[in-house]
Structure 1
Amino acid sequence: MESDSSCEVLVAGPYFADLVFHGLPRPVQPGGEVFADGFALVPGGAYTLAMAVHRLGRTAVWSVDFGTDVFSAEVLAAARAEGLDERAFRHHPSPVRSLTVALSGPDDRAMVSYQDRVTPAPLVPLLRRHRPAVLMLPQLHWDSPTLTALEVARQLGTLVVQDCHDVPASLTDPAVRRILAEVDVFTPNAAEALHLTGATDLDDAITELAALVPTLVVKRGADGAVALRSGKRYDAPAVPVRAVDTTAAGDCFNAGLVHGLLSGHDLPTCLTIATTCGTAAVTAPGSSAALHAADLENRPERLPRAQ
């Protein structure tokens, strides 16, 4: 297969159409009704990763499946409006619906999602064709094809950055540990880190995960983020802002992190860029407030503290 080396970042993951109800005055209870202050239909899922790294000036290829449904059409139109590379887009003659209803209140959000089943494109041919500097995976998978793909990524010298995404995984499963052994940068949020390890204390969870991956980055929402590499820990505070919706914050954080890594910055600076991108994302519904490269120059930077 002919290779194409014009790809800095390969993003592999499904789109989501995010139906965001924001400004809820209180949580929604069964049998009750709450009126939101605002509503937006915003492209999300792996679209956010691809769009956000593209806005930061990186050449990105996104492997995704679209169908004949209105949600596919909405996200495809947004991807084209952003100028995303379409070489790894697959179009199916049937619906490929993938959507999330996000209910965002002042402190947190609840989500309900639905996906039509579709087998994603195999990762190994994509890696061999595009030979990316970075492979971004939005969700933790621990099946044999994923393990093979990550082994190929290592052979190609591709940096693997993987998120967790609230999956029913546990470190008690040897297959999960084998997958994490092939990951270069693992980026769960605090709740995911606790669930994955079974720990009740976040610092204990961080310590256990940091022993499994070369670089661990844990997102802590309004408390910022923490990163560990080679026994050194860096804590980055979040910049205080008025949060409208947190749906895309983690993906925009990851995009900023990858941008920093590709720029050759040290880990504290990468963490600062990541928190800046993640913080900006919460100021508008879904992924709509993802930063452009020029925006970073106008944002305050606070270097994380080393411990």
Structure 2
Amino acid sequence: MSGADSQKRFDVTLVGESNIDLLLYGLPDDLPPERELLADRMAMHLGGSPAITAHNLVALGSRVGFVTASAGDTFADLCLRDLTTAGVDLSRAIRKDDGLSTGFTVLLQHSNFRRTLTYPGVTHSIRYCDLDLGYLRSARHFHLSSYFLQENLRPDIPRLLAELKEAGLTISFDPNDDPSGEWDSSIYEALAYVDILLPNEREACRIARVPQLDIALHNLAAIVPTVVVKRGAQGAVALTNGKRYTAIAAPVTPVDAVGAGDSFNAGFLHAYLKGEPIDRCLAFGNLAGAFSTTQAGGIAAFCNADERSRFFANHAVEAR
């Protein structure tokens, strides 16, 4: 870390949603209408891609500032409590009194896939005029998730990224899914300011509008200096400066994969900001993503510092 970087207040700042994830397990693959179907287990945790990333970055040792919207309801209190307990700075959280409640996602866990149902709530309320740019600039790096969910912020995202880039921050970007299925090409305006793109395989192909990962990887790397594609149990692949890197996934018996991609982001960025080479960043991201799957939801595993230390120590060979 350079002298200038060490004087920054945060390692990473983020903007976006903090929602509730409700997970239901043991449901049949077929969901017939007008039937009461029983799950055999449930869990409820902090959700939202940027919130999970922020929480787990702090757990790994990064200094994090997070600008999120709060509806002031009971679920908002739960989200803010979990983030504050972890050590995420929420001093610029935005209170919204526009009649919308905290966002809520119901994740139906089937045997080989999951269904995701989301009410965005105040996620849609975040606007460029709500943001304290000085606060966001007080970091070494800026991370943006959930591009397509940021309905009112999205038109100003290129402007926001340009200003942060001008201030000397590096920028990472996880697009997440597009609920509309349209994958609007306006995303390319934002990608022009991005240093690290962090999609999963499906997202990479949809953004590049090609069916093959290798073609998508090369096409996106022509726009973004470093493209990192998360492939779940198949590990991860990155392309930077014309060089391709791969990393295998750490072997685990998963509870679920909710938040695994966001946890990968946290691991990758934590290593990246420590100055690790890309192959080490990939390996550390894989470990963080795998560790996330050992408990329900995106943050539960990271709340146990002893288990976290033990897991990373036991799997250290896979991060070499």
TM-score by length of 2: 0.85
Q: Residue 98 in 1 paired to residue 103 in 2?
A: yes
Q: Residue 191 in 1 paired to residue 202 in 2?
A: yes
CA deviation profile, 1:41-70 (whole Å, cap 9, x unmatched): 100112211110110111100101112322
What is the deviation of 1:116? 2.1
Counterparts of residues 169-248 of structure 1 (less than 5 Å) = 170=183, 173=185, 175-248=186-259
Equivalent residue number for residue 137 of structure 1: 144
Q: Which amino acid aligns with 1:62?
A: F
Counterparts of residues 92-171 of structure 1 (less than 5 Å) = 92-93=96-97, 95-117=100-122, 118-122=124-128, 126-129=132-135, 130-140=137-147, 143-167=154-178, 168=181, 170=183
Q: Distance in 1 between matches of 2:266 and 2:129?
A: 20
Distance 1:104 1:201, change over 3 A: same
Q: Which moved more, 1:100-109 or 1:287-296?
A: 287-296
Q: Distance in 2 between matches of 1:140 and 1:70?
A: 26
Q: Distance in 1 between matches of 2:250 and 2:91?
A: 37
Equivalent residue number for residue 30 of structure 1: 32
What is the deviation of 1:230? 0.5
What is the deviation of 1:289? 1.2
SS in 1 for 2:317: coil
Counterparts of residues 28-67 of structure 1 (less than 5 Å) = 28-31=30-33, 34-45=37-48, 46-67=50-71
Q: Is the CA contact 1:12–1:64 (under 8 Å) kept in the aligned structure 2?
A: yes
What is the deviation of 1:30? 3.4
Equivalent residue number for residue 83 of structure 2: 79
SS in 2 for 1:135: strand
Q: Distance in 1 between matches of 2:133 and 2:202?
A: 31
What is the deviation of 1:11? 1.3
Q: Distance in 1 between matches of 2:301 and 2:182?
A: 31
Q: Is the CA contact 2:226–2:239 (under 8 Å) kept in the aligned structure 1?
A: yes
SS in 2 for 1:133: strand
Q: Distance in 2 between matches of 1:7 and 1:123?
A: 22
Q: Residue 5 in 1 paired to residue 8 in 2?
A: yes
SS in 1 for 2:80: helix
TM-score by length of 1: 0.89
Equivalent residue number for residue 268 of structure 2: 257
Q: Which moved more, 1:212-221 or 1:108-117?
A: 108-117
Distance 1:90 1:198, change over 3 A: same
Distance 1:84 1:18, change over 3 A: same
Distance 1:113 1:125, change over 3 A: closer
Unaligned runs of 5+ in 1: none
Identity of counterpart residues, as a percentage? 29
Q: Distance in 1 between matches of 2:118 and 2:68?
A: 17
Q: Is the CA contact 2:287–2:319 (under 8 Å) kept in the aligned structure 1?
A: no
Q: Distance in 1 between matches of 2:138 and 2:155?
A: 21
Q: Distance in 1 between matches of 2:96 and 2:226?
A: 37
Q: Distance in 1 between matches of 2:139 and 2:129?
A: 12
What is the deviation of 1:169? 5.4
Q: Which amino acid aligns with 1:88?
A: R
What is the deviation of 1:86? 2.0
What is the deviation of 1:170? 4.1
Q: Is the CA contact 2:94–2:130 (under 8 Å) kept in the aligned structure 1?
A: no
Q: Distance in 2 between matches of 1:303 and 1:66?
A: 37
Q: Which amino acid aligns with 1:76?
A: L
Equivalent residue number for residue 301 of structure 2: 289
Q: Distance in 2 between matches of 1:81 and 1:178?
A: 36
What is the deviation of 1:40? 0.7
Q: Distance in 2 between matches of 1:206 and 1:15?
A: 30
Q: Distance in 2 between matches of 1:66 and 1:303?
A: 37
